[in-house]
Structure 1
Amino acid sequence: MALELMDRDPGPRLLLHRPCYGRHPPDPACHPGLWTGGRYGESVVDAMDQALDRLVAEREIDGVVLVGYSGGGLLARLLAARREDVRALVTIAANLDHAAWTRRHGYLPLEGSLHLADGPPLDARVLQWHLVGARDPVVPPAMVRQAARHDPHARVEVVDGVDHRCCWVEAWPGLLERLQEQLGEALETTPPDGH
């Protein structure tokens, strides 16, 4: 899904996987904890943060907009809390509260993973837009709304005609256009020193 959404975005972009996800052949350092109970853990978020640091430095990127789908949305939110260069965070069908998500589906708790509620809310200067499909049975709108309450400046939008997988690609160009407008407005109202 992430690649399909990226394909619809005309701007500069890159895909950052969590460690050991999508690797062929698998890295010998990979272990099951990195894609099971610790998939949102400190070592995963730290590795992604370091990789993003390298990419930002290599490409001389001034500001970052993080976009994450499903579990990638939670990882993007955890990354945003660590970085001062994040201008916006967009999550799509994201299980922002993995404890509520595992309880809902009867999965084992993700014991090695970080919880948003344990950290501070994001800085108000970071535009937050949490998108969820009106028909999403995997991460229902009520679950996203509840988790987003941790961030008083977060905006949750329920997208009609969309579930967890279906129709995001078709809806993305219009959503992206609105995001770019909002981001432009937010940057215009933020002083250069960020205060």
Structure 2
Amino acid sequence: MIQRYLILIANIVLLAACQTLPQQPFTAPQGASVINANFKHFALSQPGTSTRLHVYIEGDGVPFPSRFQIAKDPSPSNPMMLKLMELDTSKGLYLGRPCYFSRSLPALTDEQCDSKLWTSARYSEEVVSSMVLALRQYLREHPAQGVSLIGHSGGGTLAMLMAARMGEVDQIVTLAGNLDIDAWARLHHYTALKDSLNPVELPVNVLPRKQLHFGGDKDDNIPPEITQAMLARKGLQIKIIKNADHNCCWLANWGEILAQINQQTAP
């Protein structure tokens, strides 16, 4: 009995310690820069063997450390999309979202930042228009023959919304993309992202014909069924990655996914 009590106390202390451990901030790699659009954007470019540009857009990071607590800084500590870009031999750009990564790059500090931009307005007109402007500024200095937007989770949301405004973009790729934000909010009983735009409402004719959408069969954050319901309205299909959830195993499957991306845009 005493031993069981001591184990219980130890577990409570350990849980408390885990909850108070600070998140280690992301360290900006050498060569990172800032693109000044309507907001400031983290940018990291990568030389490649192709004339096509692959633009990587991260997910939502950590907008809520707990269900009812808004983060002061939503930046992910271990950006998955940056790792995927490093495994890509194509010319690449990791394009940050407004108000992300300022802890790792002080030049990104922006007085316009407000927590709405990573909560209810994370896919708002303000965010999308600044992302589009930032990418167009980059393209003026670094022309490309074809642009692929590749986004994970909420980055997939933004990839869809950006592509609808950019004729320069001829391919969209989403990984566990949140393509119907209202259905996602209903599934989890979250407050609707009332200040955000929803990709499900985009007309088919404003999007590029080349699209690839992947989902994990074990993803309970954005189940493939939600994505497929949205894509079916546009005559598209989701590709299922087995034994993958929302964050796990995209790196392990990236070689196979990247081959499909390159095949779709091959001359």
TM-score (normalised: structure 2): 0.66
Aligned 8 A contact 1:37 1:112 in 2: yes
Partner of 1:144: 227
1:124 Cα deviation from its structure 2 partner: 6.9
Partner of 2:158: 75
Please provide the CA RMSD for this pair: 1.5
Partner of 2:120: 37
Structure 1 residues 33 and 145, CA, compared in 2 at 3 Å: closer, same or farther?
A: same
Higher relative contact order (CA 8 A, sep 6+): 1
1:13 aligns with 2:92: yes
The number of residue pairs the alignment matches comes to 184
Listed as ranges, the gaps of 5+ residues in structure 1 are 189-195
Partner of 2:192: 109
1:175 Cα deviation from its structure 2 partner: 1.0
The one-letter code sitting in structure 1 at the alignment partner of 2:252 is: E
Partner of 1:167: 249
Partner of 2:12: none
Structure 1 residues 125 and 68, CA, compared in 2 at 3 Å: closer, same or farther?
A: closer
1:180 aligns with 2:262: yes
Of residues 75, 89, 93, the one that matches 2:176 is 93
Q: State the distance in 2 between where 1:150 and 1:113 align.
A: 21
Structure 1 residues 71 and 62, CA, compared in 2 at 3 Å: closer, same or farther?
A: same
For the pair shown, the structure with the greater C-alpha radius of gyration is 2
1:22 Cα deviation from its structure 2 partner: 2.1
Q: State the distance in 2 between where 1:85 and 1:93 align.
A: 24
Cα deviation 1:126-163 (Å, max 9, x = unaligned): 311110001101111101101212422x3310111211
The one-letter code sitting in structure 1 at the alignment partner of 2:99 is: C
Q: State the distance in 2 between where 1:13 and 1:19 align.
A: 19
SS in 1 for 2:252: helix
Partner of 1:4: 83
Partner of 1:192: none
1:125 Cα deviation from its structure 2 partner: 4.8
1:118 Cα deviation from its structure 2 partner: 2.9
Cα deviation 1:99-138 (Å, max 9, x = unaligned): 1111111211101001223331155753111100011011
SS in 1 for 2:259: helix
Aligned 8 A contact 1:94 1:139 in 2: yes
Partner of 1:134: 217
Q: State the distance in 2 between where 1:118 and 1:173 align.
A: 32
Listed as ranges, the gaps of 5+ residues in structure 2 are 1-79
Q: State the distance in 1 between where 2:208 and 2:160 align.
A: 14
TM-score (normalised: structure 1): 0.89
Further displaced range: 61-70 or 46-55: 61-70
Cα deviation 1:47-97 (Å, max 9, x = unaligned): 000001001111012321000001000000000111111111000011111
Aligned 8 A contact 1:128 1:155 in 2: no
Partner of 2:101: 22
Q: State the distance in 1 between where 2:182 and 2:188 align.
A: 10
The one-letter code sitting in structure 2 at the alignment partner of 1:71 is: G
Q: State the distance in 2 between where 1:29 and 1:162 align.
A: 37
Return the structure number with greater helix share.
1
Further displaced range: 67-76 or 22-31: 22-31
